[in-house]
Amino acid sequence: MIKKVQTKAKGWKIHTQLMVLILLTGLASILLFEVLWLNKWDIYEYVQQVPGFRDMSQDEDFWEKLRTEAANYNIPSSEDDKEGIKKIQPFLSQGDKYTGIYIYNLKEGTYVAGKFPSVLNNAAFSTFFDMGYQLTGGEGEETYEFPMKFKNGYATVMVWFYHRVRFIYPYCIFCLTVSIGLFFGVILFFIKKKMNMVASLKDEILRMAAGNLRDSVPEMGQDEIGIIAEELDNLRTALQDILVREKESRRANQDLITAMSHDLRTPLTILNGYLEVLRLNRNPEMHEEYLNRCLQKTSDIREMTDRMFEYALVFEEVDDPKVKEIPIEYFRDCINEHSDFIKLAGFQPELDYTNVERWITGDKGMIKRIFSNLFSNILKYGDKSVPVNIKGCFTKTTYILTMSNGIKQQSTGVESNHIGLMSVEKMMQQLGGKSSFSEENGLFSVRLEFHLTAYGRVDRPETYAGNNAGII
């Protein structure tokens, strides 16, 4: 139960936590004060054992002596009997400075004589007494009233003791101090804890500003400070990812520039040499061969620059595709165009599709670049002795295009960096489609999956069967 309350309290806002804490701490402080104050006389019993704190009201010898001495004195006739009051002063002075003894007429109850406690004549004690009297409601006073036999008759004697003032007033201040201290101590501890969290957040921000993004921001609950800490940690993670990607991109760009600079220098030097030979008209019988070699070098340079553009497409941000409805016929036209080209290069394309009217969602420019990358891959790394199989089919909601070709066994010095395939994968993701690549038994296979538009979907059961509804 307590754990559930603690878990729920962690999600409270700070001002709610503070208000609840003030209420509970206030009740606890009041309860503590009541407990201490109700047990004041039990504690006073222990205090009286300390030398100098003995209460004369508990001294039996004092009371016995008071009764015995009363028989030796006459009661003054009235408060105007100066001689009688002077003679009875030794009786009235039997108490200490915290004791006051007063005599009243037994029948009429009028004041006859008395002695004021001398300690109340002290200005400091009197001020302390007045303050404590207001706080405790006169708990420091102790009064006894009884008839007593004097030499010439009976009178009412009142004895006032102020010994308790030495304990009860300081004890009252002690109880107030402890209770108020508990209240403000808990509140200040809560505020200090929250301020420490704010200081910790400041340190985390300064650490992040200094470039340290490795260490995570600690959890700080679920209140406003905890939310700020969580969002700050999310910001740290995002910044770290951005910096890592930026560093990787910068390093990859530098590597590409270095490699391309080196790779372009050789064909450009050779191309420049052939052009110089042609300009000087040397070896006329070799001009056609030199022209063919120049064309080959320009082709090499074009291939390198294509790689650079593909790399930029993979690692740099691009604009959102312009998605619209595209007929399947557009795919057939692109495939036919590239198939004719690879056929001239010596490949054997085998197409498997029929003219079916369907539409997909896509971007024509991206689709054209996707086919350019795939067929360029075939030209670079394909085996001409193995047919290139291209097949299109559709399901109820998708159009699936599969391509497979043999992998060239002999190295031609062209090293695959998979940038073209990475470019295809990224463009398919931007179009909302799927792509997969595999190599098995000397064959390289590609599977592309495009979404059919609502108009182009097959919703009639008789027009499709299973996953493959037909060949396109």
- 463, pLDDT greater than 50: no
**C-alpha radius of gyration, the chain, whole number:** 53
Determine the pLDDT at residue 3: 55
- 138, pLDDT greater than 50: yes
Q: Are 330 and 466 within one domain?
A: yes
Share of the chain above pLDDT 70, in %: 84
Determine the pLDDT at residue 393: 85
Q: Are 275 and 336 within one domain?
A: no
Q: Are 396 and 335 within one domain?
A: yes
Here the CATH number for the domain that contains residue 466 is 3.30.565.10
Band of residue 363 on the pLDDT scale cut at 50, 70, 90: confident
Q: Is residue 271 part of a domain?
A: yes
Q: Is residue 32 part of a domain?
A: no
Determine the pLDDT at residue 10: 63
Greater pLDDT, 199 or 263? 199
DSSP 4-68: HHHHHHHTS-HHHHHHHHHHHHHHHHHHHHHHHHHTHHHHHHHHTTSTT---GGG-HHHHHHHHH
- 274, pLDDT greater than 80: no
pLDDT in tens, 276-294: 777 887 777 777 877 877 8
Task: Look over the chain and give the mean of its residue pLDDT values, rounded to a whole number.
Answer: 80
B/e letters for 318-340, b = 16+ CB within 10 Å, e = fewer, are eeebeeeebebeebbebbeebbe
Q: Are 426 and 335 within one domain?
A: yes
Calpha distance 6→23 (Å, rounded): 16
Which sign does the torsion angle of CA 11, 13, 17, 23 carry? Answer: negative
Mean pLDDT is lowest, of 12-21, 326-335, 354-363, 443-452, for 354-363
Q: Are 422 and 328 within one domain?
A: yes
Band of residue 213 on the pLDDT scale cut at 50, 70, 90: confident
Q: Is residue 179 part of a domain?
A: no
Q: Are 252 and 292 within one domain?
A: yes
Determine the pLDDT at residue 98: 85
Among the three residues 163, 189, 216, which one is the final residue of a domain in this structure?
163
pLDDT in tens, 224-237: 888 888 888 888 88
Here the CATH number for the domain that contains residue 63 is 3.30.450
Calpha distance 111→81 (Å, rounded): 12
- 102, pLDDT greater than 80: yes
Q: Is residue 191 part of a domain?
A: no
Q: Are strands 359-362 and 153-161 parallel, antiparallel or unpaired?
A: unpaired
Phi, psi of 300, deg, nearest 5: -65, -45
Q: Are 251 and 122 within one domain?
A: no
Residue 420 has which token pair? Answer: 């073209």
Phi, psi of 76, deg, nearest 5: -60, 150
Q: Are 93 and 229 within one domain?
A: no
Site of tokens 């010095």: 413
Q: Look at residues 135, 69, 141 and name the one whose alpha carbon lies nearest to residue 100.
A: 141
Determine the pLDDT at residue 157: 92
Q: Are 121 and 71 within one domain?
A: yes
Q: Is residue 442 part of a domain?
A: yes
Band of residue 186 on the pLDDT scale cut at 50, 70, 90: very high
Q: Is residue 16 part of a domain?
A: no
Mean pLDDT is lowest, of 281-295, 316-330, 370-384, 456-470, for 456-470
Band of residue 341 on the pLDDT scale cut at 50, 70, 90: confident
The tally of domains found in the chain comes to 3
Q: Residue range 171-175: average pLDDT?
A: 87
Q: Residue range 295-317: average pLDDT?
A: 66
Domain range holding 281?
Answer: 224-315
The number of residues in the chain equals 472
Greater pLDDT, 427 or 458? 427
Q: Residue range 87-107: average pLDDT?
A: 88
Q: Are 131 and 260 within one domain?
A: no
Calpha distance 367→331 (Å, rounded): 8
Among the three residues 144, 163, 182, which one is the final residue of a domain in this structure?
163
Band of residue 35 on the pLDDT scale cut at 50, 70, 90: very high
Q: Are 392 and 300 within one domain?
A: no
Determine the pLDDT at residue 142: 85
Q: Residue range 192-207: average pLDDT?
A: 89
Here the CATH number for the domain that contains residue 297 is 1.10.287
Q: In what order do the strands lie in the sheet with 142-150?
A: 111-115, 99-105, 153-161, 142-150
259-265 own/partner pairs: CB under 8 Å, 24+ apart: 260/304, 260/307, 260/308, 263/304, 264/301, 264/304
Determine the pLDDT at residue 358: 80
Q: Is residue 454 part of a domain?
A: yes
Q: Are 261 and 396 within one domain?
A: no
Share of the chain above pLDDT 90, in %: 13
DSSP 62-87: HHHHHHHHHTTSPPPSSTT-HHHHHH
Instruction: Select, from the ranges 52-66, 124-138, 164-178, the one with the highest average predicted confidence (pLDDT).
Output: 164-178
Q: Is residue 467 part of a domain?
A: yes
Among the three residues 137, 163, 189, which one is the final residue of a domain in this structure?
163
Residue 270 has which token pair? Answer: 């050779």
